[in-house]
Structure 1
Amino acid sequence: MTLVLAIAAGGLIGLSLGALGGGGSILAVPVLVYALGQSPAQATTGSLVVVGVTSLIGAVTAYRSGHVLLARGVAFGTVALGGAVVGAKASTHVPGPVLLACFAVLMLVVAAVMALRLWRRRGGAGDHPRVLDEPIITFSPTFACQCPRALKVLVTATVVGLLTGFLGVGGGFLVVPALLLALALPMEYAVGTSLVVITMTSAMALAVRAGVGVAPDWWLVLALTAASAAAAVLGARLACRVDTRRLQVAFTVLVLVVAVYTAARALPSLV
């Protein structure tokens, strides 16, 4: 029964990651803790495997569909790696209940930011790329720098990496808003490009966590990963056929629902 539950949950995680570019990690951690009996430390490590592998497959599918800005994703992910290392090391010194409480609070904040963005854009035109081909820093023929935007990307990517390593999340529910706000990408490009960033930061955070703390039940993690990876391909194809505004609404609702549930379970344990 546990294995069946892991496969079913993996399917939902993969659909979320493939279609929305996020949500997988915020589903993986609660599923591993509350449904599959893993400790918070085990869950945050196992989720990195699930989300990292699934994101890689989803990124390849999205790239073939033309919805990945590879150079921007790699650049953003490279900056985020430093934060991921620091966050992963810091997480080993924090009690499980505190990790889950921080996880819930972060999701509530992200849901609020995304809801506010949707509210401000209600009734307006859809997202269109404004700066897709406009580099932030150039060296030829002369050096030029859009320094305010460069600073915004630097700070945003570092924070994303830090939280990814600390909470053991893939960062999709952080990376998508970051790419929307820092790089002004339209939703369909932010979703695909975020998968590149998630793959990079998850791999780095997992490498730092290797051999530290209690290992998760790898059979459950592998079952979750296999089901998630298969569903991610379907999710990425679905993203190409669904209105981007609906994707934003679904993304926001998903984060909010899981945040409320996790908060209800985690916060009382701190009292």
Structure 2
Amino acid sequence: MSTLILALAAGAVIGLSLGALGGGGSVLAVPALIYLLGLTPVAATTAGLLIVALTSATALSSHASDGHVRWGTGLLFAAAGIGPAMLGSALAVHLPERALQAAFAMTAAVAAIRMLRPEGEGDATGKTRPGHVAAAGAGLGTVTGVLGVGGGFLAVPALVGVLGLQMREAVGTSLLVITVNSLAALGMRGGTVGRLDWAVIAPFAGAAVLGAWDGRRLASKAKGTSLQHVFALALLAVAAVMLIDAVV
């Protein structure tokens, strides 16, 4: 199969997931770039940040038009993660590739397990607790910066369980957080962006953006928990393969 077709197919899957679930899809972007398209872990995490930023911004506009974004809470959450995202991004380029790959695999496994657990709804008030927002935002920013993932699998549970948002609002608001954190982390890797293989990255990103629009429509028709569980099982298998490859 040609590289172009692989890039288009992988990008479409990541976009569908991000648009439908508000997170998780970006965790598959890095392994796809490494194993299907031959990028190094460092290059893959940089490309992942770019793809996640573009795709999340696209999905965000759709959720915002439906009134499912809490802008104040999302911006506060994102602001707490900007510094850690930038520091994590600067650190990532100096980590050994096997260590970066193993850390990514473990994070993907946590994401899959978290997605398999039943999700509770937030309270109707959606009260913002600044201390909790800052702590959760900083942790999410670090994960985004180091591993090149959006972190929606962490943001959505935090927005629901810690901040009391309803699930639809948490999904939409998480996309705002992901977009801001990804752009902040990407800013620290400006010197590496120019060295990316754009013949691979451009079609991948384009397919992901288009997939995000379709994912939003899919979410309105399919049962959310079913989509999440299927994706989580696939992600768990990917995490196992990556971890074995990193340690063997």
- The residue number in structure 1 matching 2:244 is 264
State TM-score, norm by structure 2.
0.91
SS in 2 for 1:169: coil
Q: Distance in 1 between matches of 2:112 and 2:10?
A: 22
In 1, Cα distance between equivalents of 2:131 and 2:187: 27
Matches within 5 A, 1:36-55: 36-55=37-56
Rate the CA distance shift 1:128–1:251 in 2: closer, same or farther, 3 A.
farther
Q: 1:144 matched to which residue of 2?
A: none
Residue 212 of structure 1: CA displacement?
A: 4.5
CA distance in structure 1 between the aligned counterparts of 2:91 and 2:68, rounded to whole angstroms: 34
Check the 8 A contact 1:41/1:214 in 2, yes or no. Answer: no
Segments of 5+ residues of structure 1 without an aligned counterpart are 137-148
* Aligned equivalents of 2:211, 2:90: Cα separation in 1: 31
Question: How far has the Cα of 1:254 moved from its partner?
Answer: 4.4
Residue 176 (structure 1) aligned with residue 177 (structure 2): no
Matched to 2:137, the amino acid is A
**Is the Cα–Cα contact under 8 Å of residues 92 and 212 in structure 1 kept in the other structure?**
no
Where 2:62 maps in the other structure, the secondary structure is helix
Provide the residue aligned with 1:4 in structure 2.
5
Unaligned runs of 5+ in 2: none
Q: Which residue of 2 aligns with 1:84?
A: 85
Deviation at 1:239, TM superposition (A): 1.9
2:24 maps to what in 1? 23
Structure whose alpha-carbon radius of gyration is higher:
1
1:195 corresponds to which letter in structure 2?
L
More helix by share: 2
- Contact residue 114 and residue 177 of structure 1 kept, 8 A: no
Contact map agreement 2:23 2:152 (CA 8 A) in 1: yes
SS of match in other structure, 2:191: coil
Task: Using the TM superposition, name which of 167-176 and 247-256 deviates more.
Answer: 247-256
State the shift of 1:96 in Å: 1.2
Letter in 2 for 1:109: V
Aligned residue number for residue 108 of structure 2: 107
Q: Are residues 154 and 160 of structure 1, via their aligned partners in 2, closer, same or farther at CA, if it must alter by over 3 Å? A: same
| 1:267 Cα deviation after fit | 2.6
| Contact persistence 1:61–1:237 (CA under 8 A) | no
Match of 1:154 in 2: 134
Q: How does 1:1-271 map to 2 (within 5 A)?
A: 1-115=2-116, 117-118=117-118, 127=121, 129-132=123-126, 134=127, 136=128, 149-212=129-192, 215-250=195-230, 252-268=232-248
**Separation in 2, partners of 1:209, 1:215:** 11
Shift of 1:128: 5.2
Identity percentage of aligned residues: 42
CA distance in 2, matches of 1:254, 1:184: 29
Paired positions, count: 247
AA in 1 matched with 2:103: C
TM-score by length of 1: 0.84
> 4+ residue runs of structure 1 moved beyond 4 angstroms?
none
